[in-house]
Structure 1
Amino acid sequence: MPTSAAATVDLRTESLGSVFDRVERSLGVKLDRSTEVRKRRSIGARTDRGTWVRVERRPRERIGGQGWNGVECAATLRGIAMPQWLAGAAWTDPEDAAMWRADETELISAPPVKPADRAELSDTWWATLTASLDALAEQTTTRVATPDTDTISRSVVTEVIQKAFPEATIDVSLDEWATAHADLSWANLTTPECYILDWEDWGMAPRGLDAARLLVSSLDVPEVAERVRHERRDDLGSRTGKLMSLFYCSKLVPYVDEGAPVRAEALRLLGELEPLR
């Protein structure tokens, strides 16, 4: 398969029978196909021994020097509400320009947070999330975060912001870094018990990356956005945190209407970050 084709494969529409057979042989499990949860680049299912297996496909050019065993490496983290990692397997297909990886983890029965759930999350839920993100930020790693499989860097952040706002004159200096999950979407958080799922992209990142991702994805529900601001106020209030919020807003601005909350938030941030003339 040509590299361009490999990069555009959507696992939500692919037939994966042979992949599942390979996973079952490698990990010594049977997958319950009726429990499949499909995403664009990953798919998961329960096993016959009461665990969960997540299978990911990634184009080879998206696999950097640190590898792509993020779920396995996350087993070293402490003080975080997350599934326990148990086993893994990886392989390449000579006829495909991509690699496959399967990770078996503890089964978390709590479902992902749905849009209607966000405004009803308990104080205990928020306390667990806050404590987990604080504990994560205190730990160090040689890994570098790869949100959307792109290694985070000043150049990547600058490119995204300038594409959305070519006239912007802000200084994209990322002075503070901390360990981050790097894919903290609502789909990767569970309720009523709070667990953080899908650790393939974690690593060092500009401060506030996770909080910014959660904030920007909450702007359509103002009370939820305000709760995120409150819980992660130190990160989001830092200059680096504001740049991360603008970074995630800028990813969406080209695709939203003029009056969209994400555009208003981006303009507010630009006003705070651009130098006085």
Structure 2
Amino acid sequence: MVPRPRLLGLCDWSADGWDYRAEHYEFVTTPPVAKSPVLHDHAELPDTWWQDLHQALARIALVRTDRQAVREQYIRRRLPEFTGVTPGEIIWTTAHGDLHWANLTSASLTLLDWKGWGTAPLGYDAANLYLHSLPVPDIAERIRKEFAHVLDTPAGRIGELTACTEILQAAARVPFYAELADGVRHHLSRLKNSRSGSAPSGR
């Protein structure tokens, strides 16, 4: 099973032409790895934590759903605008959709905040976690090594470019994305210049 809070109940309703859903999850006492989505300090995470993260993302990817974490229309319109890259074929998978350090607990792994899960380009979750780790190079490097089998592929490159695009687009209105923007642009430059389409080391 995916380590996530247990859903205790939900309520759907419609008003003024909009559909709404409220979900009630159990309270998680284990603290997140960081209070901010962006990692600023080294995190001591055991090998078992990384193994659990691998298993969780692999299991999420197998879930069949009509939910969308990222829309194809967005990718094809915004990637060229923010990265200069025109995407070709997109390999889709199911993703958590908001994988960053405030949504992952330390010690024993739990994935929090499930409101945005759905289909996304391959590598999207791993890329998001990598980009939110750029201020801590050793953790960023660990993520690239752990998920090289996804990120260092042409399909995973589209997922990474999508994550870069979202951060750069939101940088003007979201403070923690603004602080990431320069690092993302620097990484994006290296990513685009890599011959194989695989991203370079986080160092």
TM normalised by structure 1 equals 0.59
Write the letter of the residue equivalent to 1:241: G
SS of 1:260's partner is: helix
The structure 2 residue matched to 1:91, chosen from 13, 16, 31, is 13
Residue matched to 2:22:
102
The structure 2 residue matched to 1:267, chosen from 189, 192, 198, is 189
Is the 2:120–2:159 Cα contact (8 Å) retained in structure 1?
no
The structure 1 residue matched to 2:76, chosen from 152, 158, 183, is 158
Q: In 2 relative to 1, CA 207–272 (structure 1 residues): closer, same or farther, beyond 3 Å?
A: same
Higher RCO, Cα 8 Å, sep 6+: 2
Residue matched to 2:106:
191
Unmatched 5+ stretches in structure 1 = 1-78
**C-alpha separation in 2, matches of 1:172 and 1:273:** 16
The structure 1 residue matched to 2:131, chosen from 191, 216, 241, is 216
Is the 1:215–1:229 Cα contact (8 Å) retained in structure 2?
yes
Residue matched to 1:113:
33
**Bigger strand share:** 1
Give percent identity, aligned residues only.
33
Residue matched to 1:80:
2
Deviation at 1:117, TM superposition (A): 5.9
Deviation at 1:119, TM superposition (A): 2.5
| Larger gyration radius, structure 1 or structure 2 | 1
**C-alpha separation in 2, matches of 1:142 and 1:273:** 34
Write the letter of the residue equivalent to 2:149: D
- For residues 12-161 of structure 1, the aligned pairs below 5 Å read 79-94=1-16, 99-114=19-34, 115=39, 118-137=42-61, 139-146=62-69, 151-153=70-72, 155-161=73-79
SS of 2:194's partner is: helix
Residue matched to 1:228:
143
- Alpha-carbon RMSD: 2.6
Residue matched to 1:74:
none
1:237 aligns with 2:156: no
Deviation at 1:205, TM superposition (A): 2.0
**C-alpha separation in 2, matches of 1:239 and 1:157:** 15
Write the letter of the residue equivalent to 2:44: E
SS of 1:204's partner is: strand
Is the 1:215–1:245 Cα contact (8 Å) retained in structure 2?
no
Residue matched to 2:175:
none
Residue matched to 1:176:
91
Is the 1:212–1:248 Cα contact (8 Å) retained in structure 2?
yes
Write the letter of the residue equivalent to 1:199: W
Q: In 2 relative to 1, CA 135–142 (structure 1 residues): closer, same or farther, beyond 3 Å?
A: closer
Paired residue total: 185
**C-alpha separation in 2, matches of 1:135 and 1:118:** 27
